[in-house]
Amino acid sequence: MKARFCAVKKTIIVVGGGLAGLVTANILARAGIACTVIEKKEYPFHRVCGEYVSNETLPFLKSLGLFPEELNPIQINRFQLTSVNGKSAELPLGLGGFGISRFSFDQFLYQKAKSNGAEFLLKTEVDSLHFTGDGFEIRTRDKQMEADIVVGTFGKRSKLDVSLNRDFIHQRSPYVGVKYHIRTDHPSDLIALHNFQDGYCGISNIEEGKSCLCYLTHRNNIKDFGSIKEMEENALFKNPFLKSIFSNSDFLFDKPETINEVSFEIKKPVENHIMMSGDAAGMITPLCGNGMAMAIHSAKVLSELVKDFYNEKITRNKMEQKYLLQWNSLFAKRLWAGRQIQKLFGSGRASDFAVNLARQAKPVAKFLISKTHGNPF
Ligand SMILES: Cc1cc2nc3c(=O)[nH]c(=O)nc-3n(C[C@H](O)[C@H](O)[C@H](O)COP(=O)(O)OP(=O)(O)OC[C@H]3O[C@@H](n4cnc5c(N)ncnc54)[C@H](O)[C@@H]3O)c2cc1C
């Protein structure tokens, strides 16, 4: 009798359970491939994010049962832009998007991944990752593990970036993100982006009649004014739209969610043989409202290649090369466009120019928006 060749099963560890990690876990688990997600926090939890998800993700999410219909996401298809001094323009959003809190969306994807068979190690932070030649050693505070494949979905900035000595980590980034959930009178189909000196603030609706109010600013802005509250009253309130929102809303958090050192530097999507996805591979400026779609899309592309490597259809080298090619062709130009468009925000003159462009040259404005977005996948 012929001996049947039986491939030794590879172990897969996904580091970071945000959107990219949770989508990867769902895809692999649904294909019957065991994987463990290591996440430093415990679900559900809030994150700094504008919580507007581009509709380009809909076909994919629906095909895997990952669209959170039961949470009543809000459909959004109008875009309002205001300048630092309150000039306003409106544009249709083309494909549009949906509003859902990360608190609920991530919890939903986590439950789905668990029921699909993915394993989770929560409240566990990975301290170091080391490629040994044919696999990885992974260290947490009290565990050492081994894996054949590591998927890096640890977000925009992690202590792992430091331990891996990634290039971008040596550049300090001046951006700070601040987020609130509020109850206010905001039209449900509208996402608005309001400029203020050295920053911009998005508002759009999420589930349960709430709105997400989220802004990005320069850390010196907070330093100069002394506190977030002082900065809001003295810089954000100069835009009458922001003054009105802040003055006429119920704020639902005791204090805002904040993050520092938000970086848009170029990163490598594969580093030390770690397959990176989502913000760990490259982060788009938040004004594009496309980071979550990119996290989901890159997780899809990556997972298909990981499946092929797992099933011994391709070598590790081929998996990495193919991923780099696909990642660059799908996302590199979008990240570049996002960085250029960001220059039109956060200053009086540039934001006036952007609003005038949106009012008087709608096709150009629509073209610029389209450059930061992808096609449905
Ligand atoms: C101010 C702001 C507003 C934004 N608004 C929008 C928007 O409206 N629409 C949009 O599409 N995108 C938006 N984005 C971008 C979007 O939030 C990100 O692109 C998206 O969250 C990326 O998902 P991710 O899975 O890569 O990372 P994340 O969702 O950040 O997940 C990373 C996970 O890794 C975990 N982790 C990190 N290090 C470790 C470790 N060492 N061990 C274990 N776990 C670890 C973290 O706890 C986290 O859960 C915004 C971003 C900012 C900063």
Report pLDDT for 77.
94
Is the pLDDT assigned to residue 68 strictly greater than 50?
yes
Is the pLDDT assigned to residue 103 strictly greater than 70?
yes
pLDDT tier at 7 (50, 70, 90 boundaries)?
low
Which tokens sit at 77?
Answer: 């298809």
DSSP state of 2: P
Q: Which of 158, 147, 149, 135 is nearest to 267 (CA)?
A: 158
DSSP state of 343: T
Any atom of ligand 1 within 6 Å of the Cβ of 155: yes
Report pLDDT for 360.
83
Tell me the C-alpha to C-alpha distance, in Å, between residue 304 and each of 241, 313, 323.
Answer: 45, 11, 10
More confident residue, 258 or 3: 258
Lowest mean pLDDT among 99-108, 145-154, 309-318, 339-348: 339-348
Residue corresponding to tokens 């959930």: 181
Asked whether 298 and 306 are in contact (CB, 8 A), the reply is no
Any atom of ligand 1 within 6 Å of the Cβ of 15: yes
Any atom of ligand 1 within 6 Å of the Cβ of 41: yes
Any atom of ligand 1 within 6 Å of the Cβ of 286: yes
pLDDT tier at 314 (50, 70, 90 boundaries)?
very high
pLDDT tier at 2 (50, 70, 90 boundaries)?
very low
Is the pLDDT assigned to residue 89 strictly greater than 50?
yes
Tell me, in angstroms, the distance from the centre of ligand 1 to residue 11's CA. 25
Any atom of ligand 1 within 6 Å of the Cβ of 97: no
Any atom of ligand 1 within 6 Å of the Cβ of 192: no
Is the pLDDT assigned to residue 373 strictly greater than 80?
no
Q: What angle do CA 122, 16, 162 make, to 5 degrees?
A: 115
Q: Which of 164, 150, 145, 162 is nearest to 274 (CA)?
A: 150
Atom 16 of ligand 1: nearest residue by CA position: 291
Sorted by sequence, the CB contacts under 8 Å of residue 148 that are 6+ apart come out as 10, 11, 12, 134, 135, 136
Across 157-172, average pLDDT: 93
Across 202-209, average pLDDT: 98
Lowest mean pLDDT among 1-15, 24-38, 101-115, 349-363: 1-15
pLDDT single digits (tens) 183-201: 999 999 999 999 999 999 9
Instruction: Indicate the residue type of 329.
Output: S
Please give the share of the chain, as a percent, with pLDDT higher than 90: 81
pLDDT single digits (tens) 315-370: 999 999 999 999 999 999 989 888 888 887 777 788 888 888 888 887 877 777 77
Tell me, in angstroms, the distance from the centre of ligand 1 to residue 124's CA. 17
Instruction: Indicate the residue type of 165.
Output: N
Residue to probe by mutation, ligand 1, list 14, 121, 154, most atoms within 8 Å of CB: 154
Q: Which of 231, 228, 230 is nearest to 260 (CA)?
A: 228
Lowest mean pLDDT among 54-63, 263-272, 282-291: 282-291
Beta strands in 83-225 (DSSP E): 88-99, 119-121, 126-131, 136-140, 144-147, 149-152, 175-183, 190-196, 199-205, 211-218
In DSSP terms, which residues pair with 213 in a beta bridge? 180, 203
Report pLDDT for 289.
76
Report pLDDT for 4.
46
> What is the average pLDDT value for the chain, to the nearest integer?
93
Is the pLDDT assigned to residue 8 strictly greater than 80?
no
Any atom of ligand 1 within 6 Å of the Cβ of 292: yes
Cα separation of the two ends of the chain: 46
Is the pLDDT assigned to residue 6 strictly greater than 60?
no
Atom 29 of ligand 1: nearest residue by CA position: 18
pLDDT single digits (tens) 123-142: 999 999 999 998 999 999 99
pLDDT single digits (tens) 216-245: 999 999 999 999 999 999 999 999 999 999
Report pLDDT for 288.
80
